[in-house]
Structure 1
Amino acid sequence: MLSIKSALAKPFAKHVYKRIKKWADKPIETQERVFQELISKGAGTVFGKDHDFVSINNHLDFVKRVPVRDYEALKPYVEKAVAGEENILWTGKPIYFAKTSGTTSGSKYIPITKESMPTHVEAAKNAILMYIHETGNAKFVDGKMIFLQGSPVLKEQNGIQLGRLSGIVAHYVPKYLQKNRLPSWETNCIEDWETKVDAIVEETLPENMTVISGIPSWVQMYFEKLQQKTGKKVGDIFKNFNLFIFGGVNYEPYRAKFENLIGRKVDSIELYPASEGFFAFQDKQNEKGMLLQLNSGIFYEFIKIDDFFNDNPKRITIADVEIGVNYVMIISTNAGLWAYNIGDTVEFTSLNPYRVIVSGRIKHFISAFGEHVIGKEVEQAMKEATLNTEVRVSEFTVAPQINPTEGLPYHEWFVEFENEPENLSALAKKIDQSLQEQNSYYFDLIKGKVLQSLKITKVKKGGFQDYMKSVGKLGGQNKIPRLSNDRKIANHFSTD
Structure 2
Amino acid sequence: MSLINDVLGYFIKRRRTRIEEFKEFPIETQNEVFFGLIDRAKYTEFGLKHSFKDIRSVADFQERVPVSTYEEFYPYIERVLKGEKNVLWPSEILWFSKSSGTTNSKSKFIPVSEESLEECHYRGGKDLLTLYVENFPENLLFEGKALSIGGSLHPNPFNTHTIAGDISAVITRNLPKWAEYMRTPSAEFALLEKWEDKMEHMIEVCSKEPVTSILGVPTWTVVLLENIMERTGAKNILEVWPDFEVFFHGAVSFTPYRELFNTKFFPGNKVKYMETYNASEGFFGIQDDFDLKDQMLLMLDYGIFYEFLPMEEWDKEFPKAITLDDAEIGKNYAVVISTNGGLWRYKIGDTVKFTSRYPFRVKVSGRTKQFINAFGEELMVENADQAFSFAAKVCEVTVKEYSGAPIYMQSDNKGGHEWVVECSVNPADTQLFVSKFDEKLKELNSDYEAKRRNDMALDIPKMHFAQTGTFYRWMENRGKLGGQHKVPRLANTREYIDDLIKFL
TM norm. shorter chain > 0.5: yes
CA deviations over 1:236-294 (Å, ceiling 9, x no partner): 22111111111110011011111122223310111111111111111121134111111
Q: 1:163 to 1:301 in 2, by over 3 A?
A: same
1:283 corresponding residue in structure 2: 288
CA deviations over 1:469-494 (Å, ceiling 9, x no partner): xxxxxxxxxxx9436999xxx9xxxx
1:41 corresponding residue in structure 2: 40
Alignment partner of 1:358: what SS? strand
**2:129 equivalent to 1:128:** yes
- Give the aligned CA root-mean-square deviation in angstroms: 3.6
The answer to which of 322-331 and 6-15 deviates more is 6-15
Report the TM-score when normalising by structure 1. 0.75
Distance 1:248 1:188 in 2: 19
1:482 corresponding residue in structure 2: 493
1:397 touches 1:482 (CA, 8 Å); kept in 2? no
2:124 touches 2:283 (CA, 8 Å); kept in 1? yes
2:309 corresponding residue in structure 1: 303
2:221 corresponding residue in structure 1: 219
Distance 1:124 1:485 in 2: 34
For structure 2, the 5+ residue unaligned runs are: 372-380, 386-398, 408-413, 427-469
Distance 1:172 1:243 in 2: 24
2:342 corresponding residue in structure 1: 336
The amino acid of 1:346's aligned partner reads V
CA deviations over 1:427-446 (Å, ceiling 9, x no partner): xx9xx98x878x653x559x
1:461 corresponding residue in structure 2: none
Distance 2:89 2:181 in 1: 36
CA deviations over 1:61-114 (Å, ceiling 9, x no partner): 111111100011111111111111111111143121111224447322111111
**2:182 equivalent to 1:171:** no
**2:268 equivalent to 1:264:** yes
2:331 corresponding residue in structure 1: 325
1:116 corresponding residue in structure 2: 116
The amino acid of 1:231's aligned partner reads A
Q: 1:322 to 1:296 in 2, by over 3 A?
A: same
**2:251 equivalent to 1:255:** no
The answer to which of 98-107 and 239-248 deviates more is 98-107
How far residue 19 of structure 1 moved from its aligned partner, in angstroms, is 2.1
1:121 touches 1:172 (CA, 8 Å); kept in 2? no
**2:431 equivalent to 1:403:** no
Pairing 1:80-159 to 2, within 5 Å after superposition: 80-102=79-101, 103-104=103-104, 106-118=106-118, 119-152=120-153, 157-159=159-161
The amino acid of 2:287's aligned partner reads Q
How far residue 401 of structure 1 moved from its aligned partner, in angstroms, is 1.8
The amino acid of 1:402's aligned partner reads E
2:217 touches 2:250 (CA, 8 Å); kept in 1? yes
Q: 1:295 to 1:48 in 2, by over 3 A?
A: same
How far residue 400 of structure 1 moved from its aligned partner, in angstroms, is 4.6
Distance 2:283 2:403 in 1: 22
2:247 corresponding residue in structure 1: 244
2:459 corresponding residue in structure 1: none
1:248 touches 1:370 (CA, 8 Å); kept in 2? no
2:66 touches 2:318 (CA, 8 Å); kept in 1? no
1:144 touches 1:182 (CA, 8 Å); kept in 2? yes
2:378 corresponding residue in structure 1: none
How far residue 127 of structure 1 moved from its aligned partner, in angstroms, is 0.8
Q: 1:125 to 1:440 in 2, by over 3 A?
A: farther
Q: 1:371 to 1:363 in 2, by over 3 A?
A: farther
**2:226 equivalent to 1:228:** no
Q: 1:217 to 1:111 in 2, by over 3 A?
A: same
Pairing 1:189-208 to 2, within 5 Å after superposition: 189-208=191-210
1:227 touches 1:234 (CA, 8 Å); kept in 2? yes
Distance 2:400 2:25 in 1: 34
Report the TM-score when normalising by structure 2. 0.74
Q: 1:303 to 1:173 in 2, by over 3 A?
A: same
Alignment partner of 1:194: what SS? helix
Q: Identity of counterpart residues, as a percentage?
A: 34
Distance 2:62 2:496 in 1: 33
The amino acid of 1:75's aligned partner reads Y
Alignment partner of 2:423: what SS? coil
The amino acid of 1:16's aligned partner reads R
2:256 touches 2:400 (CA, 8 Å); kept in 1? no
Count matched residues: 417
2:400 touches 2:423 (CA, 8 Å); kept in 1? no
The amino acid of 2:223's aligned partner reads M
How far residue 398 of structure 1 moved from its aligned partner, in angstroms, is 5.7
